[in-house]
Structure 1
Amino acid sequence: MTEAAIQRPGGPAAKGRVDAVQARLKKRYAQERRFKLYGQIAIIAALSFLVVLIGRIVSQGYTTFVDYRIAVPVYLDPARIDRSYPAGTNFDQLVAEAMLARLGVADDAEGEASRAVTQLISNDLGFQLLDKVRDNPDLIGQRVTVEGPMRADAALYYKGELKRSTPAEMRRLSDLQLDWLDRLKAAGAVKSGFNSGFLLRSDSTQPEQAGVLGAVIGSAMMLVVTAFLAVPIGVLAATYLEEFAPKNRWTDLIEVNINNLAAVPSIVYGLLGLALFINWLAVPRSSPLVGGLVLALMALPTVIIATRSALKAVPPSIREAALGVGASRTQTVFHHVLPLAMPGVMTGAILSLAHALGETAPLLMIGMVSFVPGVPEGFTSAATVLPVQIFIWENASERAFHERTAAAILVLLVFMIVMNLAAILVRRRFERRW
């Protein structure tokens, strides 16, 4: 109502009413402006926290994807290698001697120089030599070049995270070792590049050799089990409760319990899985199968609630039209109602799986905290998953593992972003308008 429309003849009383209305309008407009301001402040604060969080993770973890490698030509001395049993040879010592020769340093009688240079290069080079000799014993007596990563502390020095100015007693590398690293880099012996090994290797006791491949495959296998159980069971249970179950005290009790189960702490599901699946049913501990079973129990309430909400969103006219042309109750639900509710059903299912992917507490209860160096070969093999891998690395004493913790978080975030994008695409693909 405009001011011109409010002002009418009537003396002081009318003038007073006009002033009161204008005051109320002014107050209401001020409240609306304050509400918009509060909303903008809330959005800015949320985005600021998100930027700080992501920025902190990226700044700490991006260096993991930078790899420093060195190529070392090693002479395979026939006098020191047993052709019939190559595994008995100390190939790490051969690599260390080749490195000392490259640096122009003579080893002492106690072998201190060899031990010092061994702390700069990964023992992966020694394993490479062993594999080469096993595959082709004729290499003995020749000079073979092997390439591998620098040790984690040496890589941290090249990345600027380990500084020479740090007191010697507070760093693991001596001044002499830092001098050697500077000489190797100045001579062009050390090359930097993308650390593909982080994505293609599994866990290791050595930070420079540790990767997330085993954890990624373990997470994927576990999600397959979770989806195979939670989605069909949850959708069918929700469909029955919403479309077929009689409305009485029993169904009301079931609905209340389902809503309560969605709020139960996840560690309780871990205790349930430990007692039910491991102690009673003897499912192999720390396997994708038992992890998927536990997470399926945890995801079921969310899938049921999301499916019921999607079914309720379908207009009653769809049901009435189907029944009016002679369709049975089952045909109405499965041929008309459920397909129209499918966008919401699939979105809820994918989001529940994404939530299950980030769970750690229930998996720790079923033994997935153990060290697993390889890739799981089956659903009953020992495996680890990304959240547990992050937990293990963060509690490791090696400083380089903390760097890999942040990088593993980035991999997990990418995994979850992909799943959320899949939920959006599925919703748009199946969405129908009526």
Structure 2
Amino acid sequence: MTETFSTATEREESRRQPAETRRKGLRRRHAAERRFRLYGMFAISAGIFFLAALLFSVVGKGYTAFEQTTITLPITFDAAVIDPEGAREDDPRLLLTADYPELVEAALAETLEISPANGPEMREAMRMISRSSRVELRDVVLKDPAVIGETVNVRLLASADIDSANKGQIDLSVPETSRRVSDRQLEWMERLEALGLMQKSFNTGFFTHGASSRPESAGIGVAFVGTLYMMGVVLLLALPIGVASAIYLEEFAPKNRFTDIIEININNLAAVPSIIFGLLGLAVFIGLLGLPRSASLVGGLVLTLMTLPTIIIATRAALQAVPSSIRSAALGVGASKMQAVFHHVLPQAMPGILTGTIIGLAQALGETAPLLLIGMVAFVADYPASPLDPATALPVQIYMWAGEAERAFVERTSAAIIVLLAFLILMNISAVILRRRFERRR
């Protein structure tokens, strides 16, 4: 009887042990799953935090650059200053070399009630106006020479320091010797604001001007045009070459050692640092072929080489995702290999191809290192008329402004980053929209 009872107990314990072991294992798996979810949530939260910090920093520093302080002055275009000898009809170049700052001095002296003979005060007042006022007044006269002899209200750019003070970016509570704006200039600013002559308005010059050593007159217009030229070259070359290469390698090329080497090299090129492509462009396009340095064409060719691996890999992945039954069905009804690929396979792969292309272009849009090596870091103030003219690009412009010491260049650097990010977001949204549209057509 005792033996029977002990045997039953041992059986019960033996059944209970595996059940307990299974429950422990299940608890361990559930705990591991919870930890994995926590790790994932932490990673996502960290990513969102750093992204938000980046955007907050960039937007917080850059949004003020989209406004610019201007000072409206009654400029008397005195013929005795602009054309003292009355020879402008015989030599129109006299209008280019006239002493336009003297007109600004006279208008400031009248508006601020300063004696023109008071040299220190006049110099301090002139520091409130951007040195680009000479170009602004010259353009007014060249556009309409009839203003000579007339008094016209002209809106001039304020200097960078006055602009920063008007935007509240300078701590005015510190002693006068510790800031770049004097107490006298602050009094004049209050006077101009009371007269309605100083105001902030949308900074159109930021989008139309070129490079300048004066932050108040610097803009991204020239860099933006150079970027468009480069992206046009990349789109015209990288898209057809990349798609054609991917179609050949995936659909027509024989599977042998030679094509395996090509595929390996394409995958390796996608991981090559971008600066290497800059060295290649410097050696081949500029050194060997003799193309002009700093030209958008050279930048576009370099970025094309960098973008090709991305487009080829994305296109091949899109082609591989098309079911083989579509190829078999097309061939089964008598279509040739080319007809099956271009009439049936390629349309099915088009969403993936477009997505890969736009992602490759977005990557090229933000590249700086290869463009520095081919000379696109040059100071370019005039718009390029063609891809062969000297130009710069938006990322390079950001790089150059980031190295400037003046405070006003900081906000323009951040504003240019905002524009670049907006461009990248627009391209990615376009990729999503095009992908969904082509998927609906299928």
Task: Give the TM interval when normalised to the shorter protein.
Answer: over 0.9
Query: Which residues in structure 2 correspond to 1:69-80 (within 5 Å)?
Result: 69-80=70-81
**2:393 paired residue among 365, 385, 397:** 385
Among all aligned residue pairs of Structure 1 and Structure 2, give the percentage whose two residues are the same amino acid: 51
Structure 1 residues 88 and 226: CA distance shift in structure 2, 3 A: closer
CA distance in structure 2 between the aligned counterparts of 1:34 and 1:135, rounded to whole angstroms: 71
State the partner residue of 1:108: 117
Q: After the TM superposition, which segments of 4 or more aligned residues of structure 1 sit over 6 Å from their partners?
A: none
CA distance in 1, matches of 2:271, 2:156: 49
Superposed, which structure 2 residues align to 1:35-46 within 5 Å?
A: 35-46=36-47
Show the counterpart of 1:92: 101
Which residue of 202, 207, 223 corresponds with 1:215? Answer: 223
Q: Deviations over 1:161-189 (max 9, x none)?
A: 11223444443332322222232223322
Aligned to 1:204: 212
Out of 313, 335, 341, the position equivalent to 2:343 is 335
The amino acid that maps onto 2:279 is L
Task: Give the secondary-structure state (helix, strand or coil) at the position aligned to 1:413.
Answer: helix
**1:137 to partner: Cα distance:** 4.0
Q: Is the 8 A contact 2:377 2:396 kept in 1?
A: yes
Q: Which moved more, 1:113-122 or 1:228-237?
A: 113-122
Letter in 2 for 1:177: Q
How far is the alpha carbon of 1:334 from its aligned partner?
A: 1.1
Give me the whole-angstrom Cα distance separating, in 1, the residues matched to 2:174 and 2:218.
Answer: 26
Deviation at 1:135, TM superposition (A): 4.4
Whichever residue aligns with residue 46 of structure 2, its letter is: A
Question: Secondary structure of 1:356's match?
Answer: helix
2:231 paired with 1:230: no
Query: CA offsets, 1:7-60, max 9 Å, x none?
Result: xx9622222222221111111111111111111111000000000001000000
Aligned pairs for 1:14-413 (under 5 A) are 14-82=15-83, 83=86, 84=88, 85-108=94-117, 111-413=119-421
Q: Are the equivalent residues in 2 in contact too, given 1:199–1:213 (CA < 8 A)?
A: yes
Provide Cα deviations, 1:331-362, integer angstroms capped at 9, x if missing partner.
11111111111111110011001000000000
Q: Equivalents in 2 of 1:351, 1:344: separation in Å?
A: 11
Q: Which whole-Å deviations, capped at 9, do the CAs of 1:353-388 have from their partners, x for residues lacking one?
A: 100000000000000000111221111111111000
Counterpart residue type for residue 433 of structure 2: L
AA of the residue aligned to 2:425: I
Question: Cα gap change, 1:233/1:168 in structure 2, threshold over 3 Å: closer, same or farther?
Answer: same
Query: AA paired with 1:182?
Result: E
Equivalent position SS for 1:188: coil
Q: Is the 8 A contact 2:165 2:181 kept in 1?
A: no
Mapped to 2, the partners of 1:426 and 1:88 lie a distance apart of 54
Indicate how the Cα distance of structure 1 residues 399 and 308 shifts in structure 2: closer, same or farther if over 3 A, else same: same
Q: Which amino acid aligns with 2:345?
A: V
Shift of 1:160: 1.3
Per the TM alignment, residue 200 of structure 1 is displaced from its structure 2 partner at its CA by: 2.4
Shift of residue 199, structure 1, vs aligned partner: 1.6
Q: Secondary structure at the match of 2:168?
A: coil
Give the match for residue 5 of structure 1.
Answer: none
Which stretch shows the higher mean deviation, 257-266 or 128-137? 128-137
Deviation track 1:238-275 (CA, whole Å, cap 9, x = no partner) reads 11111111111111111111111111110110010011
Q: Deviations over 1:114-144 (max 9, x none)?
A: 2221211123443333333344444333212
**AA matched with 2:105:** A
Q: Secondary structure at the match of 2:155?
A: strand
Superposition RMSD in Å? 1.8
In 2, Cα distance between equivalents of 1:407 and 1:137 = 36
User: Matched residue pairs, number?
Assistant: 425
Whole-angstrom distance in 1 between the partners of 2:53 and 2:384? 35
Partner residue in 2 for 1:6: none
> Is the CA contact (8 Å cut-off) linking 1:125 and 1:146 kept in structure 2?
no
Query: For the residues of structure 1 that align with 2:147 and 2:38, how far apart are their CA atoms?
Result: 75
Q: Please, which runs of 5 or more residues in structure 2 have no aligned partner? A: 1-9, 89-93
Inter-CA distance 216–136: structure 2 relative to 1 (3 Å threshold) = closer
Which residue of structure 1 aligns with residue 12 of structure 2? 11
Q: SS at the partner of 1:406? A: helix
Unaligned runs of 5+ in 1: 1-8
Distance, in Å, in 2 between the alignment partners of 1:299 and 1:310 is: 17
